[in-house]
Structure 1
Amino acid sequence: MNNKYIYVNNKKIGPGEPTYIIAEISANHNGSLDRAIELVNLCSESGVDAIKLQTYTADTITINEDSEIFTIPGEGLWGGKTLYELYSEAYTPWEWHKTIKDTANSLGLDMFSSAFDKSAVDFLDKINVPAYKIASFEVTDTNLIAYAATKNKPLLISTGMANISDIDNAMKAVKGVNDSNQVLLFKCVSSYPAPPEAMNLRTIPYMSEIFNVPVGLSDHTLGTEISVAAVSLGAVAIEKHVTISRNDEGPDSKFSMEVDEMKDLVDQIRNVEKGLGNIFFGPTSSEKSNLQFQRSLIVTQDMSPGEIFTGENLRSIRPGFGLSPIFLDQIIGLKASKEIVRGTPISWDMISG
């Protein structure tokens, strides 16, 4: 497997292509299909490329158990809830998926989802998603990854918490099914929200190099800066959780990006793409009109034929209509071949030995 590009609905994703921007709805529907559809519409207006869901039920991802190991510790966002309680609240009903997908597709957006078990893989295949996402917490489930790979669709795999061996095992699980399968890895920090100092964005080009696949960023930080920086370092896809308002009481609201912020992010990324450009030296088209204001050699005192050029009567100043300043030392000590008026840009026909 050695492919720095993947194709989602014939959209090419990889180096030199527009950054593929994914709006993760996750639990921000807050239990309402109407709200989910509203989010899709708002995300379309923000300029994203794709909508992503999460496909599980509480029973496919955990069991209903309230012992200590099944309870989220601490005072954080989900602290004190059992896993079953959290996932019962956060899941997206499977019967909504096709409606959300049809809405997204009607707006020109891709729609795919994170599959958390084999039944989710099969369900998503039936509604013809163009790709599968594997979440960070499932990156070590090589059986799930291998099963998703049997569908011969692009796999987008998040790598939060994963070491190089974990990622390598995930890649081998895909390769063991079909060496031609398309994979995109996401650099990710599985904290909610993630602190900027934990992001280690310089891993992105290194990850792409050692695994020979395109790499994006699944970004759980607040704000836009980290995603924009990732694009400048070579991230080819950005995934951000999105909500209508962080003041909502949904399980994912507090670390999600509001829709107007998503539009700002899309605009910033598109500007960064323009700014990255290509390897280039010389005046750009926007600079050419300013070449006249570069320094050049200008006669600064009236000169008679035969008069010697000195540092007083020939200087490197603006504007840029004379010979280049690199010739100054070569011309000093030579003679004027004709009468030259102060303010004249010097040219070779005005100089004699």
Structure 2
Amino acid sequence: MDERQDGTIIVAEVGTGHHGEKERAEELIEAAREAGADWVKTQVVWAEEILHPRCGVVPLPGGPVSLYERFRSLEVPEEFYEWFAARALEAGMRPLFSVFGMRSAALMGRLLAVFGGEIPAVKIASPELVYVQLLDAVRRLGMPVVLSSGVSLLGDIETSIGVLRGEGWMVPGWGRVEGDGKGVPVTLLHCVTAYPAPEEDYNLRVLPLLAGLFGVPVGVSDHSRDPELIPATAVALGARMIEKHLCLSHEGGGLDDPVALEPDEFARMVGAVRAVEGAGEEGLRVVREAYGARVEGVLGSGEKRLAPAERGNYGRSNRSIHVRRTVKAGSVLREEDLVVVRTEKMLRPGLPPVFLPVVVGRRVAREVEEGEGLRWEDLLP
């Protein structure tokens, strides 16, 4: 968390909505500032860190998209991210970056050398929560981590928190990858991985459970359409951070613009959060008076489970082990033959990333086509 700030940290996620254009990025940063955001976040996108080229077409709010090619179109020069950090700081906000692989984690190390503690944390998105090798690389930077926990189970979160605390992780049937005990501060964001996310799926009573189980500050990364309901109710239940997408217009052409808030909506959200934040223990009464019966619908049971809207994404939006290129039966797998990516809709999911040290060096039992997930049945005993 930001030691310079009391109260809830509000993060304006502009994502890739700037299209790599500095003028548009400046407009988004200024819109975030005027709306009352504390931090402004962008995403460090290199397609090959996230997807295999054969991942296919994905239905999104703006229509069907060839996802790998769309991500390729969102790539910008590394210098853009240094400019973005400097511009956010000039505007009086703190810059935050989502990283998706080893290259973008290394970039964060270079930005840290330039800006130091002015970059308050690094963000790990929900699909990367199971990517233990990336978490460990980010931990070694020594920066606080904001970790989203959509499309995850309690065991997934427990493993990721352990990695970020420097405890290492278990590889079932193989042994333990030892950590060095050097942990970093973690803020855990509850999230529903659906775009848009139905408000009745949010189960916000899970926030005190997560805070108690893991001993970390909690918050919400909100993809619902309503500007106020989820953020205000989350703060009443102890959320210390609220992240929500910001766009200049829903018709702006950005990947997330259809589910983002326009500046006036974002300002309404900030106002709602600050009103509840000032109510202390009376926060739930305040939100019930403001939003009526809808509040009960978003509180849920408090049990950590996959939300109905995201169940079909488990194992597909999460990272798994895929073959980079076709491997023939009888060949021995090398590390360069494998890639840890999101499966998405078209390809077959593979083994979780924790098994990477197990499969390297194993002999392949049958041909595995380029891009497909690697499974136990593909390997000789």
Q: TM-score, normalised by structure 1?
A: 0.71
Match of 1:63 in 2: 52
Paired residue for 2:231?
A: 227
Q: Distance in 2 between matches of 1:80 and 1:106?
A: 37
**TM-align CA RMSD:** 1.9
Secondary structure of the 1:156 match is strand
Alignment of 1:287-302 (within 5 A): none
Segments of 5+ residues of structure 1 without an aligned counterpart are 1-5, 280-353
2:43 to 54, 76, 79: 54
Q: What CA deviation, in whole Å up to 9, does each residue of 1:168-221 have, x standing for no partner? A: 010111122445420010000111111101111111111101011110100000
Q: How does 1:136-147 map to 2 (within 5 A)?
A: 136-147=126-137
CA positional deviation for 1:229:
0.8
Q: Corresponding residue for 2:217?
A: 214
- Given candidates 75, 84, 94, the residue that maps to 1:100 is 84
Q: 2:151 aligns with which of 133, 153, 161?
A: 161
The alpha-carbon deviation at position 53 of structure 1 amounts to: 1.1
| Paired letter, 1:101 | A
Structure 1 position 197 matched with structure 2 position 220 = no
Indicate the SS of the match to 2:254.
Answer: coil
Task: Please state how far the C-alpha of 1:62 moved relative to its aligned partner.
Answer: 2.1
- Matched AA of 2:57: I
What does 1:338-353 align with in structure 2 at a 5 Å threshold?
A: none
TM-score (norm 2): 0.66
Superposed displacement of residue 77, structure 1:
2.5
The answer on whether the counterparts of 1:90 and 1:251 sit within 8 Å (CA) in structure 2 is no
Q: 1:197 to 1:277 in 2, by over 3 A?
A: closer
The equivalent residue for 1:23 is 12
**Structure of higher CA gyration radius:** 1
Matched, 1:84 2:78: no
CA contact (8 A) 1:27 1:92 kept: no
Give the counterpart letter for 1:201 in structure 2: L
Map of 2:275 onto structure 1: 271
1:152 matched residue in structure 2: 142
Q: Is the 8 A contact 2:50 2:100 kept in 1?
A: yes
The Cα offsets for residues 230-288 of structure 1, whole Å up to 9 and x where unpaired, read as 11111100000100011222221100011111111111111111122689xxxxxxxxx
1:119/1:256 CA distance change after superposition, 3 Å: same
- Identity over aligned pairs, percent: 31
Partner of 2:296: none
Contact residue 194 and residue 223 of structure 2 kept, 8 A: yes
1:103 offset after TM fit, Å? 1.0
CA-to-partner distance for each residue in 1:294-314, whole Å, 9 max, x for gaps? Answer: xxxxxxxxxxxxxxxxxxxxx
Matched residue of 2:15: which SS? Answer: coil
Give the distance between the partners of 1:79 and 1:37, measured in 2 at CA.
27
- TM-fit CA distance, 1:36: 0.8
Match of 2:110 among 126, 132, 136: 126
Q: What is the rounded CA distance, in whole Å, between the counterparts of 1:248 and 1:153 in structure 2? A: 33
1:90 Cα shift? 3.7
Query: Paired residue for 2:257?
Result: 253
SS state of the match for residue 208, structure 2? helix
* 5+ long unaligned stretches in structure 2: 113-118, 168-178, 284-381
Q: Secondary structure at the match of 2:246?
A: strand
Q: Which has the higher contact order (CA 8 A, sep 6+)?
A: 2
In the aligned structure 1, how far is the partner of 2:8 from the partner of 2:49?
33
Tell me if the contact between 2:236 and 2:281 (Cα under 8 Å) persists in the aligned partners: no
CA–CA distance in 1 between the matches of 2:269 and 2:64?
33
Deviation at 1:86, TM superposition (A): 2.5
Counterpart among 166, 186, 189 of residue 189 in structure 2: 186
Cα 1:232/1:24, change in 2 over 3 Å: same
CA contact (8 A) 1:217 1:227 kept: yes
Kindly indicate whether the alpha-carbon contact (under 8 Å) linking 1:54 and 1:91 is maintained by their aligned counterparts in 2. Answer: no
Q: CA deviation at 1:94?
A: 2.7
Q: Is the 8 A contact 1:131 1:153 kept in 2?
A: yes
Q: CA deviation at 1:93?
A: 4.2
Amino acid at match of 1:151: L
Q: Residues 134-155 of structure 1, C-alpha deviation per residue, up to 9 Å, x if partnerless? A: 0001000011001100111101
Q: More deviation in 242-251 or 205-214?
A: 242-251
Partners of 1:168 and 1:79 lie apart in 2 by: 35
**SS of match in other structure, 2:53:** coil
SS at match of 1:161: coil
Secondary structure class of the residue paired with 1:243: coil
